Structure 1
Amino acid sequence: MDAIQAIILGIVQGLTEFLPISSTGHLRIVSAFFGWDDPGAAFTAVTQLGTMAAILIFFRHEIVRIVVATLKTLRTDRWHSTDLDAKLGWYIVLGTIPIGIFGLAFKSVIEDGARSLYVIGTALIVFSFVILRAEAAGTQEREIADITPRDGLRIGVYQAMALVPGVSRSGATISGGLFLGFRREDAARYSFLLSIPAVVLSGLLELKDIGDHAHANAGAVPTAIATILAFVVGYATIDFLLKFVARNSIAVFCGYRVAIGALVLLLAGAGAIS
């Protein structure tokens, strides 16, 4: 991977991580369209640390409150605190369990077979209908303060679906929140917070594979360039999406998802991309 590829893929990662269109899928698709090698699961996971840094800075005040409140419950043994920040902290931990279990259980499949263009194209199309259904069924009557342990776990299961490239982590978790009746903006906010443990742990675990040509097609320097750009572009994208979902449905992205998914399947089937 050269610097130009790293710059393009870093921008793609920053733009698509928070929009419900799948950053993992787009890194694979863009590489295929340009005729580049698949950058690899390790590259994807590490560049996500850039967009995760954007989340940590954007939500820094909220994150500090959540961490402090959660740690206080450890000192006082008040596991069932009524404090919202403490509840969010424990529910984020609870919601991370599904993706941790499935991620470890199917690691080899996710890193190899699931990165097939046919899988990605199909997932982009199929999950679009899940998003549409979530928008149609969501009552949007609940606020984040209404969240329960059951909600935290169920949204965590939706997050685990995003292990399949093409599904989209934000699309899955926001849809999960909508199915549970949460307001779209609250579902999006919780989606960002829930992604923190999973993305950080995944990125740190995959750092060892960067530069190892048996596992990755990207070296340390290109990966660093892409990660920095993913942070810069990702920060702007968070602000955009939070403002967007406050007034608009995420279903507007489904047309794009179906179109790009169909194009990928068509070109892959014709042998034009591989």
Structure 2
Amino acid sequence: MDWLQIIVLALVQGITEFLPVSSSAHLILVPVLTGWQDQGLAFDVALHVGSLAAVLIYFRDDLWAMTQSWLQSIVSRRLDSDARLAWAVLLGTIPVGLAGLAFQNVIADTLRSPLYMAAGLIVFGLALGWADWKHRGQRDERQLNWKDVAFIGFAQALALIPGTSRSGITITAALLLGLSREAAARFSFLLSIPVIMIACGLETIELVNVGAATDWSAVLAGIVISGISAYLCIHYFLEFIKRMGMQPFVIYRIALGMVLILYFL
């Protein structure tokens, strides 16, 4: 890869990973539209590591409190709000993990076409707009009950469909349950941590098994650029939705989906 490709792909990953616009669709489409060769598995790992570092650093205080309370809850069997939130993140990850194991090959073989991505962008974009318009409330992520967590967790499993957007579908589910925009986004970001960890682990195992040569300068640049852009994206997204809501992202998803349909049909 040349440096233009490294910078563009890292920025695309960092910016779209936490926005409700489908990072996987953008990372698949960039090489298609530019004619670039596939960036390779090692660079994919680097991009995920950068995104993971960003969310860990941004929520470091919350994560520290959640980890302490979670460990105490194992011993005492009593849950405070931090422990409940930690358990919610862990339990909410189970459905997407099971769905990934069961349907990964089917999805990779049949649903990764631009037209399927366009359908996912439009359909789930409209769902996000409807949830934001009709159902959002003032509940906090710490007020989720176990049925709420299961609902959001099963919704997250739909993110395996290209074009859906993991953050988009989890924010949609949280809004449908009456969470505020900020609470829905924060819980979505916390849910991303184990998912990205799992993705990094699986990709690293595959990379070791393949044994391909690694361009370490590209890997380091990918981690740094995607990490910085993802951190800034999280911060400004949370500020943006307080004033503007989700509708600008809905419009973008529909517009991008229509462009893909016109281009590839």
Which one of 159, 167, 189 corresponds to residue 192 of structure 1? 189
- Secondary structure of the residue aligned to 1:64 is helix
| Structure number having the greater helix percentage | 2
Which one of 114, 117, 138 corresponds to residue 117 of structure 1? 114
In structure 2, what is the Cα distance between the partners aligned to 1:211 and 1:12?
25
Which one of 99, 105, 108 corresponds to residue 108 of structure 1? 105
Structure 2 partner of 1:161: 158
In structure 2, what is the Cα distance between the partners aligned to 1:46 and 1:172?
24
Cα pair 1:15 1:237 within 8 Å, conserved: yes
Shift of residue 39 of structure 1? 3.9
Shift of residue 197 of structure 1? 0.6
- Secondary structure of the residue aligned to 1:70 is helix
Cα pair 1:210 1:218 within 8 Å, conserved: no
Cα pair 1:46 1:207 within 8 Å, conserved: no
Superposition misfits of 4+ residues, deviation over 6 angstroms: 211-214
Cα pair 1:210 1:219 within 8 Å, conserved: no
Structure 1 partner of 2:50: 50
Structure 2 partner of 1:272: none
Paired AA for residue 125 in structure 2: S
**After the TM superposition, which residues 40-189 of structure 1 pair with which residues of structure 2 at under 5 Å, given as runs?**
43-44=43-44, 46-78=46-78, 81=79, 83-189=80-186
- Secondary structure of the residue aligned to 1:106 is helix
Q: Runs of 5+ in structure 1 lacking a partner?
A: 270-274
Q: Runs of 5+ in structure 2 lacking a partner?
A: none
Count of residues in correspondence between the two structures: 265
Deviations along 1:169-214, one digit per CA (max 9) or x if unpaired, are 1111111110000111011111111111111111111123348779
- Secondary structure of the residue aligned to 2:160 is coil
CA RMSD after TM alignment: 2.3
Shift of residue 40 of structure 1? 6.2
- Secondary structure of the residue aligned to 2:244 is coil
Structure 2 partner of 1:7: 7
* Larger mean Cα displacement after TM superposition, 46-55 or 203-212: 203-212
Cα pair 1:10 1:230 within 8 Å, conserved: yes
Q: 1:131 to 1:40 in 2, by over 3 A?
A: farther
In structure 1, what is the Cα distance between the partners aligned to 2:38 and 2:113?
10
Shift of residue 53 of structure 1? 0.7
- Aligned-pair identity in percent equals 39
Deviations along 1:227-249, one digit per CA (max 9) or x if unpaired, are 32110111110100111122221
